[in-house]
Amino acid sequence: MKSMSVHEFSATTINGDEKTLADYKGKALLIVNTASECGFTPQFEGLQKLYDEYNDKGLEILGFPCNQFGGQDPGSDGEISEFCSMNYGVTFPMFSKVDVKGDQAHPLFHYLTKETKGILGDQIKWNFTKFLIDQEGQVIDRFSPQTKPENIKDNIEKVL
């Protein structure tokens, strides 16, 4: 039986369009739960640098804003989108705000956390948890919020 992959999920983009992750088949993905008012928010800069460096080599970064950790992303999708582009020049795809833990968690994050246990078991502990996905949609690795984007370059290059 074929194992599941992230390509079986879809999500709403920050502009309100439904997007299937199957559109990213053949690309490596870095899926990140983000927040605009977090101590880790400056990681947007590092994520954008990774995107600039590796996008033409087959990497997509997908940002999923989440307000579940300390209420650190209270804005609307429009406000979040504007914040990310104005303050960090974000050009990688951003999605509509989601829950990443609990009963209301987006199904994609249920899948990601089931595939890669972290310090808190299958729970996401904070903003900017990062999941590296290969071109077939399989979860390869999980990185803590404290892991700076530039520190996962080697992992990304192995997948590419």
What pLDDT does residue 114 have? 86
pLDDT at 80 over 80: yes
In a domain, 125, yes or no: yes
CATH code for the domain in which residue 61 is found: 3.40.30.10
Residue 78 lies in a domain: yes
Q: What is the enclosing helix (H) or strand (E) of 81?
A: helix 77-88
- Domain tally for the chain? 1
Report which secondary-structure segment, H or E, holds 10: strand 10-12
Catalytic positions, please?
Answer: 38
Instruction: For the chain, give the mean pLDDT.
Output: 94
Q: What local confidence, expressed as pLDDT, does residue 118 receive?
A: 54
Q: How sure is the predictor about 1, in pLDDT bands with cuts at 50, 70 and 90?
A: very low
Question: Is 1 inside any structural domain?
Answer: no
Mean pLDDT computed over 60-77: 97
Question: Can you tell me the distance from the alpha carbon of 100 to that of 110, in angstroms, rounded to the nearest whole number?
Answer: 7
DSSP string, 54-73: HGGGTEEEEEEE--TTTT--
What's the domain range around 110? 6-159
Vertex 46: Cα angle to 144 and 81 (nearest 5): 95
